[in-house]
Amino acid sequence: MTVASTVRRGGQQGRQPQQKVIDVNTVTTPWFPDGVHRGAVTLEAEVTAVAQLLQLSPGERMMREEAVRQVITAACLQWGPQVCGVPYGSFPVGLSAPTSAVDLALDHCTGNDPHQLRALAARIPGAEILGVMQGFVQLRLRGGAVTVNVVVQEGAAEEARRRVMGAKQMLLDHPQVVHAHIVLRQILQQSGTLDVATGGLSAYALLVALVAVVRRRFACHSASALIVAFCLDHGAQVGPSGALTAPDPHEEGKDLAEGCKRAFAIRSLLQHCSQSFHRWEARDDSAAAAAKECETGVAYRGRTVFSSLLSHQTLWPRRDALRREQRQQQKRNSAVSRRIAERTLSGDIIGPMHAQSPGQSICGLSESPRSMEPDMKQVPSALSLDETVASSSPTPESTESSGELACCRATEFEEDMEDPPQLLDDGEETLGVA
């Protein structure tokens, strides 16, 4: 249904008012930027669209991979080739938010005092120290685009690996948790209740709580059903001490949400989400209801359920940034294709492409330094987590230099999930380190 509204432009006398046609049933949001009819929107479709908007783009993943490689290379130069670097947290399992930091555990280091950690940062070009203490340093790399939380502690790498493998298995068993976690994380994050430094819930605890709901409610086969069930359960249930509960799957009797002091705020927010879901399911998309909606100004006014739960202020710039990145990638691909075609027509490229020299690209241009390095294992997507965990440290005989070993170490990109409480909390939760 469309509604004609009178709009006066310019304020000039004698000019006739123009009629602006508004379709109240068309939804335009950062996750539906091209517009979609409200009657065609389902809760599952909207959850999927929001999750895809908030997932890391290929360029963002590449920047984080390069940042980890830089830190591990510097650590090998600082302490020797025996250093073992294990990324952990949400990044390697595909749950990292665009604003999250990358967590990295370094093992077999000969020192972890602030002086040595500052020396480690000095070996990384353009690194900025945001915080440093015994056994921990927070760095900003890649021109401020990536924040890396580095834990230097004996045994930290093995503990991180164990947590990451457990998180991968949980996501492999329950793939619907992936999109549910991303969407709920954004809802809690924008309200400030997902920051451990201020008494909020950790993202790892949120993951564990979601998995517990899936195992308790066998009907949660989709991400949308899981979100509805989670908000219904945790919006009304609180532990005996007044805190939300998230049982640790690795340690019997341990509650990962034990230190959460924002339980009341989280419960209120989840209750509001449950009410929004109920109103959305009970809506009437008929023409008569749409006309009444226009007259009274009640209900959703053509918007969807997550339009009332998610702030658009930061999501529209996010959508614009993704579109710019896509356009740039399309231009690069077009340029490469054009050069290949030109050289093929001129006879410069003869025979199969794999016959080219190792140091030359298909276009006859020299390869970039990164392309000549050993490729790191692709960061596992959240829905393909069955990769086996590689050995944690290569032998000195197999590595001729510390720089080469750093590339080997960076290949261990298979592990990580929201950091365990013994180490640090993921990304945005460690930004408050002094």
Q: What is the mean pLDDT of residues 87-104?
A: 91
Read off the pLDDT of residues 64-89 as tens digits, 9 standing for 90 and up.
999 999 999 999 999 999 999 999 98
Full-model pTM: 0.69
R_g of the chain computed on alpha carbons: 25
Query: How confident is the model at residue 237, as a pLDDT?
Result: 54
- State how far the Cα of 315 lies from the Cα of 325, in Å rounded to an integer: 15
Range with lowest mean pLDDT among 218-222, 271-275, 283-287, 404-408: 404-408
Range with lowest mean pLDDT among 52-56, 159-163, 425-429: 425-429
Structure tokens at 240: 């005996």
- pLDDT exceeding 70 applies to what percent of the chain? 68
Range with lowest mean pLDDT among 57-71, 199-213, 277-291: 277-291
420, pLDDT greater than 50: no
DSSP bridge pairs for 88: 103
Q: How far is CA 75 from the centre of its chain?
A: 26
- Mean pLDDT, rounded, of the chain: 75
Query: How confident is the model at residue 236, as a pLDDT?
Result: 67
256, pLDDT greater than 60: yes
23, pLDDT greater than 70: no
Cβ 157 vs Cβ 84: under 8 Å: yes
Read off the pLDDT of residues 285-340 as tens digits, 9 standing for 90 and up.
555 555 555 555 444 444 788 988 998 888 989 999 888 988 998 899 999 988 88
Q: How far is CA 199 from the centre of its chain?
A: 21
Query: How confident is the model at residue 147, as a pLDDT?
Result: 94
Q: What is the mean pLDDT of residues 269-288?
A: 77
Read off the pLDDT of residues 112-138 as tens digits, 9 standing for 90 and up.
899 999 999 999 999 999 999 999 999
Query: How confident is the model at residue 349, as a pLDDT?
Result: 55
Q: How far is CA 234 from the centre of its chain?
A: 23
Phi first, then psi, for residue 36 (nearest 5°) are -150, 145
